[in-house]
Structure 1
């Protein structure tokens, strides 16, 4: 027995000794490499130099002195810039909930009682408030998945809610969903109503003229191609679904908007995206904007004036409520190794498009535009739009210029 134990003890001892020797050897060699460098550097430290003097030397190098007037002038300029900064024109207050998990992916506001709101969280379920955010209740905590992509309230019966599960932002840690849910009692209880393999849902839209007709922009799985993706339509309040727009098994349906007066006209945004353990594809030739004039039976790809080729990434849509010929598209773009955020506008129902912004929004998405793609238009003013990227911007002139409302914090 002692002989059997002796060999492992010897082996462990040899390994430990070897590791220690290697560390000592490397440490000595490192000292030998560093020492000649420092020996070649002239001594420049002053005896008994106070820490603040030492710091000042670093700030003014290579000059011998510092002109405090320059500092005061720079301070005055900085204060003036801050005072006139567009980001100071908007005041924000946290409305909760404070215990929500992940990002807020969607907000649905009761059309007749704006104090009642629902929010969907990337990994926290659905929260409800009936007092304008003073308190919140998690109404989706018992569901099998708590990653929410989109919410919608029935305009004819506000007790009916739809929730598309699975955060549509194509992050490596966006949690998967299992399709569509419906509540008929203002969120107290929920029923699963299909599209189980859709994985992530970017938008849920209820026909404003017929609330039994519901559309879902299904993204499909992120790490593997699959067929259950694109634009889905239900004619019976979510009991049955049919896919009405499909581009490819790696192209997501991510957004859809409806004409405010012609209920048969819809615009849909499709987004080519796929991820793996070692790669990410969030731009491609199959990304694009489609239009239907027959309620979704047939679709036409819109191209005139829009980016082409492989530079198109995630797309967000917003339609004018006063002049529905006006449509805005917020497009994440990649040209070579450069990323851009651009807003395109049509004033003729998608027949032609023009880019609205100059360089103001170019860096809005940084290099991760798959998180954003959200644009909204004021229902009372078609020229006022909000664009959400890393920062929040607003335009009051149809996109010709933008004002920053909030930074990334």
Structure 2
């Protein structure tokens, strides 16, 4: 879901289960505009508004190529450390264990955003899903349990998955998350799935995968369709055109559509019978549907859909593919429009949903897509009855049983309802038993009774997109996880099971290190604090900060309690010594410019502040701001400064968010005023983004770096690095927490949940 525009949070005002915090969230939510009225639906703009951070997006083929090449080198160099390696091959004592989230103690389990669902054509127990940041998963028991099938590919950002109905062990995987392919925010927060490049093929049900076949410079694949009548004929929709293969995926050729370079965004493909198809595109002039000749060799614009629409998602009736439905929106009013074709997509007519309301709910169908009309779209048609189709939008899942004459609402956003389904729909598929699966920002849900009831199928589907994590040495069982569109999850038993502490989008969380009952959580609905595990509490008022808000908060490692915090607001720095209840301004003597973020060192009074971007200015103080000094900018720096750490020995470390080889991205210094040394790159994956940085609290000279391929450790002040631990997938690491006694480290990942590592002495 769009980060600050969480539909679920706007409806449920945070959906907090902790009584005291819930009341505060409800009071705040009452003043918010309804989801129908909100028009600012750009996720990047919303994140910037709520977090005060500039975002940088690496959605290009150059980085995708670099990432995939680095992953191949990692698989070879660190084969014994890869996820799925045989236990006898693991030679180190440090082995990662997954902490979920995998199960809830009560209520429905939600997982991460789903890009695609495919089912076995004959065996209803076999289901595959592709997730936005967690790769491909397979279930052999109709979603009761799941197994990760692509943890070592290198990019777990996926956009499409298809099955060959004639050869059902044959799968095609399109890399590159459709909606958020690799973007970064402030320190220790890598918000974005890694980009992908190309289509991979599996001939053994996802056990192994081919090398990717590149499709030009496309980095986001939205749809793959294998012709039901010809296993050699495959169509692929990408962010840079439509591609066709006539040799079962061995190679692909661009199919020009429209004017210019013939490479518009292609969003959807539908089968029209025989070996004919329709495809939808979107460019500067709007959305359009095309229909093909035999073998998809030529394409012609369809009739009836005006140029005033935006993104279009289509589906055809498997039993009568001439009948097709198209879900879209008016590009000016953003109101939902649905079209239907009865001649294989050549001609379309509007179903006039602007004049319709649900037959069982007093709400117009035209608001189906809500405020995220280009983000959440889903259409599926019953395999045997062409008049039955489902349309998924932001909050609503609609069903027609009469070919579009009327519509019923078949879901609820209330987690206590029998027909609860998480909002923001992206994928759907029927299985061989005529049961319907839908995929959304909360994972996978299934209905066997035409949508009257739904069952979450997310236990063990660990594809959560983690923004931040918090734990406490006071009670290592305590764990808070901030999640994309799943709010804040809380576990009191080291991840055995979880409860939902807050809904919406969870941004970050903090726990006291002396008293794990003290917590602070931040969501798109606000920032909240409790001293008793959430039983009571309320809105964090930021007393002492002029505008009552902060764009960034750091938990100082210099104070054992973890209750000394530093915040940035309005370009200034503030300090709290009572876990956020009261704040005082930190002196900025000598510092020039607006501070973007601040990190506290392991010694009292040591701070690092960053001003500006590309790469920015590095400032530091050794006396809590009484005197600030600007450090020289490291030579040949790439990107913008992203994170910093200072060890017990006052060794300074800084990383940037760049990735280009030949540029520098990680530096160390014992005296930043005198300059920086480029940290040795040996052991770190070249050409891969660095996302998070931590200094070991007890081992001087030891640092940990989170990257798009996992975590790496240096024990010699950054001169050399080694991959940390065995069993962690090649996944983007978004946050790192380390116990103050150096006993263990926990990692939040953007697509594979939370992981724990007991560190060797």
TM-score normalized by structure 2? 0.36
Q: Could you give the per-residue CA deviations for residues 36-55 of structure 1, whole angstroms, max 9, x where no partner exists?
A: xxxxxxxxxxxxxxxxxxxx
CA shift at 1:147, angstroms?
A: 1.0
Gap runs ≥5 in structure 2: 1-100, 104-108, 184-191, 357-363, 414-421, 423-761
Query: Residue 183 of structure 1 aligns with which residue?
Result: 202
Query: Residue 354 of structure 1 aligns with which residue?
Result: 349
SS at 1:269's partner residue? strand
SS at 1:371's partner residue? coil
- Check 1:129–1:355 CA distance in 2 against 1; reply closer, same or farther (3 A cut): same
User: Which of 221, 228, 232 is matched with 1:201 structurally?
Assistant: 221
1:117 aligns with 2:127: yes
Larger Rg: 1
Q: Is the 8 A contact 2:233 2:295 kept in 1?
A: no
Query: Residue 385 of structure 1 aligns with which residue?
Result: 389
Query: Residue 323 of structure 1 aligns with which residue?
Result: 320
Q: Is the 8 A contact 1:115 1:131 kept in 2?
A: yes
Equivalences for 1:232-311 in 2 at 5 Å?
A: 232-247=243-258, 251-260=264-273, 262-263=274-275, 265-272=276-283, 284-304=284-304, 306-308=305-307, 311=308
Measured on the aligned residues, the alpha-carbon RMSD in Å equals 2.2
Q: Could you give the per-residue CA deviations for residues 232-264 of structure 1, whole angstroms, max 9, x where no partner exists?
A: 11111111110113345672111111123x22x
Q: Is the 8 A contact 1:101 1:122 kept in 2?
A: no
Q: Is the 8 A contact 2:156 2:193 kept in 1?
A: no
1:145 aligns with 2:155: yes
1:394 aligns with 2:399: yes
- Alpha-carbon distance in structure 2 between the residues aligned to 1:300 and 1:395: 29
- Check 1:97–1:114 CA distance in 2 against 1; reply closer, same or farther (3 A cut): farther
- Alpha-carbon distance in structure 1 between the residues aligned to 2:211 and 2:134: 18
CA shift at 1:174, angstroms?
A: 5.9
Aligned residues: 287
- Alpha-carbon distance in structure 2 between the residues aligned to 1:302 and 1:255: 14
- Alpha-carbon distance in structure 1 between the residues aligned to 2:193 and 2:340: 30
1:165 aligns with 2:160: no
CA shift at 1:100, angstroms?
A: 8.6
User: Which of 230, 251, 260 is matched with 2:241 structurally?
Assistant: 230
Q: Could you give the per-residue CA deviations for residues 44-71 of structure 1, whole angstroms, max 9, x where no partner exists?
A: xxxxxxxxxxxxxxxxxxxxxxxxxxxx
Q: Is the 8 A contact 1:122 1:175 kept in 2?
A: no
- Check 1:211–1:100 CA distance in 2 against 1; reply closer, same or farther (3 A cut): farther
Instruction: Return the structure number with greater relative CO, CA threshold 8 A, min gap 6.
Output: 2
User: Which of 331, 336, 339 is matched with 1:334 structurally?
Assistant: 331
CA shift at 1:351, angstroms?
A: 4.2
SS at 2:398's partner residue? strand
- Check 1:158–1:97 CA distance in 2 against 1; reply closer, same or farther (3 A cut): farther
- Alpha-carbon distance in structure 1 between the residues aligned to 2:277 and 2:114: 26
- Alpha-carbon distance in structure 1 between the residues aligned to 2:269 and 2:403: 20
CA shift at 1:155, angstroms?
A: 1.6
- Check 1:292–1:253 CA distance in 2 against 1; reply closer, same or farther (3 A cut): same
SS at 2:374's partner residue? helix
- Alpha-carbon distance in structure 2 between the residues aligned to 1:174 and 1:146: 7
Q: Is the 8 A contact 1:253 1:271 kept in 2?
A: yes
- Alpha-carbon distance in structure 2 between the residues aligned to 1:396 and 1:165: 35
- Alpha-carbon distance in structure 2 between the residues aligned to 1:294 and 1:217: 18
